[in-house]
Amino acid sequence: MSVWAQCSSELLAKLISQFCSEGLLEPVDDRLDFGSVSYVFEATRGGFGSWRVDPASIRRTTSGILGNDESEVATDPIQFFVDAAGVLGVDGSTVAGYVAELTSTLAADVRMASTAVPAAELLELHHSRLEGHLTGHPLLVANKGRLGFSASDSERYAPEARTPLRLVWLAVRRGLAEFRGTPDLSEHAVIARELDPPTISAFRARLDDPDAYVWLPCHPWQLDHVVRTQWVRELATGEIVVLGESPDEYLPTQSIRTTVNISNPARYLVKLPLKILNTSVYRGIPSHCTLAAPMITQWLRGLWSRDEVFQELGTELLGEVASVTVPHPELSTHPGIPYQWTETLGCIWRDPIDPRLRADETVWPLAAVLHPGFAATAITRAGTDAQTWLSHLLATVLRPLLHLLHHYGITVNPHGENLAIICNDAGIPTRLVIKDLVDDINLSTTSIVARGPEPDAHTRVLPRKPWPILRQYVVDALLLGVLNPLAAHQLIPEPTFWSLTRSEIDRYTQAHPHHADRLKATALTAETFLRYPLNSYRLTLGYTDLATRPPIPVTGTIPNPLHSADSKD
């Protein structure tokens, strides 16, 4: 089978699996009927009611001209989606938009498969280079849609291109732009850390009054497609000046808009807006995020520095330490403007992980455990058995997250991109890295003394939510988004995997009886959870331009494998 056919077949199987898991489609005896067309397949059921379809088993049957059925092996996700559109109730414009995302995803999958390397080699890569080999969101089918990128853009700027890029620096007149940093960081300190003296001198020489401007990096794609068009007046009047490329090379992470400095890994990660639609939303950066990021970081740093549990576990918090906000002078003041047009210029600087590593430690994104063969190879290299290694992984991830949730009433969005795993010199997971904080931090509506004074002026970036909603971030991002796909790898029997997971929750519960009410409210071992379907979000919403990012609606419940799991403690 060709690489294209293999990737197409796997994407089709994922499409059927996820649409069935979300209740968008309801098979009868592993069969889906769409009028004159039907599909049959073989599938197993996993945790949370998930479906796992065997790519090699899918067949498409149509009614022949003479009334006889014609059946053939099915490998085309585009054909399947068009066949299913009537049953799904999707209109023509949504069909076209989703097909564009599916096609882009398939093309990216083929590029990745064509340049894939063995898992053993991936373990040797620096985390910045490993990002370009990871296959994307395990639940979202069209996870590399990137509407707005051309084919050549994808070949140059997508993570799987693995091609270094240089950032272009801009100077924006004060009043139009605003710098913010944590108390220990001045604007000049950030620039001095990010740029070498010759570059700073060259950039200053291009300005009549260098201190009248705020400096910030810009993604080269965004400069070409957005800044030079949407901000043309400001460029013409000198309110924005293009200073030029900085010499450092960067690689995009899985999120595309966040880049890692590979020339100087001790320099900051840089999060930049990109006006592309990817994994459900446009990838700009809202002004309320850039404005609040340093304040959120400073507040969380205070909690971290005083917390004995985080110190004992060695949990690392990568703060978003500085930012530049550049609201559009007209569009940002008019109500109802679609958000893709108002989040086009700005940046956030984030702490790098490399300076936090101890001697002989390695680090990789949590999403890496879902890459075919990665976890199995890591286990073999560690010289331990799968159950022991997975026990360490689960403890490393769950212990700090359970503490953060129940002791402080705070949750992050703990999916595979936002967490990283630090391993010791033997390759055993030992410490957790938490990043991408602003716009993903949520607080309990219950006031908690341990949180201390809260920065209430920014409730848009620190929304208050009841305990059952707070727990959904752990459920959807971690349990469904990482652990359930990892369980499907069958490194150990699934009942054993969920028992190990349950034991971590039980361990925390037994050690913290004073949090009994909070643990009862989060109910991580409840019989069911609410279902927030990621794929139907786009199909229901369509491709209409919206002023804000709408919430994902609830559609029923899903069974919880932790409810009946036996604790290993």
Among 77-86, 101-110, 163-172, 457-466, the range scoring the smallest mean pLDDT is 457-466
pLDDT band at 456 (very low <50, low <70, confident <90, very high): low
User: Is residue 458 over pLDDT 60?
Assistant: no
344 and 420 share a domain? no
Instruction: Check residue 66 and give its pLDDT.
Output: 61
115 confidence band (pLDDT: 50, 70, 90):
very high
The arithmetic mean of pLDDT across residues 62-77, rounded, is: 83
Q: Is residue 197 part of a domain?
A: yes
Regarding whether 344 and 396 lie in a shared domain, the answer is no
State whether 343 and 360 are in the same domain. no
Which residue(s) pair with 419 in the sheet?
A: 434
Q: How many structural domains is the chain composed of?
A: 3
The overall average pLDDT reported for the chain is: 95
367 and 514 fall within a common domain: yes
pLDDT of residue 454: 83
**In the prediction, which pLDDT does 437 show?**
86
Cβ neighbours for 272, distance < 8 A, ≥ 6 positions apart: 167, 217, 218, 219, 222, 257, 258, 259, 285, 346, 347
Across the range 146-156, mean pLDDT stands at: 96
CATH number (domain holding residue 11): 3.30.310.280
Exposed e or buried b per residue across 405-443, where buried means at least 16 C-beta atoms within 10 angstroms of its C-beta: bbbbbbbbbbbbbbbbbbbeeebbbbbbbbbbbbbbbbb
In a shared domain, residues 371 and 475? yes
61-81 burial code (b ≥16 CB/10 A, e <16): beeeeeeeeeeeebbbbbbbb
Triad 444, 447, 450: Cα angle to 5°: 95
The distance of Cα 452 from the centroid of its chain, to the nearest Å, equals: 29
Mutual orientation of helices 534-541 and 92-114 as an angle, nearest 10°?
Answer: 140
Q: How confident is the model at residue 440 (pLDDT cuts 50, 70, 90)?
A: confident
| Percent of the chain's residues with pLDDT above 70 | 98
- Containing domain of residue 79, as a range? 1-88
Residue 265 token pair: 């890994």
Q: Is the pLDDT of residue 112 over 90?
A: yes
pLDDT digits (tens, 9 = 90+) for 361-384: 999 999 999 999 999 999 999 999
Shared-domain flag, residues 346 and 359: no
Which of 523, 539, 558 marks a domain boundary?
523
Contact 58, 73 (CB under 8 A): yes
User: Considering the domain boundaries, does residue 139 fall inside one?
Assistant: no
The stretch 110-129 carries a mean pLDDT of 96
How much is the average pLDDT of 437-458? Answer: 85
Query: Which of 179, 374, 345 minimizes the C-alpha distance to 273?
Result: 345
40: which 2 tokens?
């049959």
Write the DSSP assignment of 126-185 as a string of letters.
-HHHHGGG----SS-SSTT--BTB-HHHHHHHSGGG---B-PEEEEEEBTTBEEEE-TT-
pLDDT (tens digit per residue) in 470-479: 999 999 999 9
Residues whose CB falls within 8 Å of the CB of residue 208, separated by 6 or more in sequence, listed in order = none
Domain membership of residue 519 (yes or no) is yes
Residues across the chain = 569
